[in-house]
Chains A and B, each alone.
Chain A
Amino acid sequence: MTRYSADRALDAEITVDFTKGEFTSDFSLNKSCNKYNSNTGSVLHKEIKVSYARTVLLVCWHIFIMPFLLAFISLFHLIITKYSETPLLRKHHDFVFKEQKLLKWCMLQKYGSSEYIQFGKQDTNKITYTIPANLWFQYELDGEYRQKIKTLQLLRNFVKKVNGFKTEFRQAGWNVILTFTEPPQNGYMILRYLNM
């Protein structure tokens, strides 16, 4: 495992260029955006398939353990956010990375994760998928999806919101954009992300 970190521990729009071998983090939109933004999805169908014992355990977990964990993580996160631009923290990527891993683990327990799969022949050389939060996502590529991958980007997704008083383009999650040198004909891509 190799880890590449930017010089600042702040939200960034990310581009991984596989042809140039570059990992670019763009912080320019941070001033105007809410970095804790996320979507709330509607439920079309709900099915509960858990045993009684597991339900009791889950309820106990959420009532007695989770609040303390989240309070601890929130405090930790606040401290990190406050001092994220200080020279001390910039030089300690490991600290930020461990905090993010802990946060990811907690969010996985609370919200879980989803998998998005694309396979077979594509008509275009770009695949875009919107994920609710940028805390963590993982990709897996195979076949021509791997051979022809050019860039992987994580960019803010903006939507136009209108009400009686104002119209605004507000951030609603993040776009994961995969660009290929030409449309892949075989293979697959899997995208795993947090449901926040």
Chain B
Amino acid sequence: MNEIDTKQINEKDIETAKKKGSIFGDPEFIVGE
């Protein structure tokens, strides 16, 4: 199993992600909240 996991962020989410987001360490990345 890979130790590094990469997910692509949708282009439309990037601008929102630059403004606001939150991270759960387990891991989850929530855009705009």
Contact = CB atoms under 8 A, between A and B. Distances in A.
A104 interface: yes
Contacts of B9: 4, 16, 21-23
A1 B33 contact: yes
A11 B10 contact: no
Given A21-B8, A25-B5, A26-B4, A5 B23 contact: no
Contact of B27 (A1, A14, A18, A21): A14
Nearest to A1: B33
Contact of B29 (A16, A28, A141, A147): A16
A85 B1 CA distance: 10
Nearest to A139: B21
Interface in A115-171: 133-142, 146-147, 149, 152, 154
B4 A25 contact: yes
B18 A18 contact: yes
B28 A4 contact: yes
Contacts of B23: 14, 16, 134, 136-138, 152, 154
A3 interface: yes
A24 B27 CA distance: 10
A4 B14 CA distance: 12
A1 B22 CA distance: 11
Interface string B1-33: 101111111110110111111111111111111
Contact of B10 (A2, A7, A12): A2
Given A2-B31, A24-B6, A104-B24, 6 more contacts: A4-B29, A14-B27, A14-B29, A16-B17, A22-B6, A136-B22
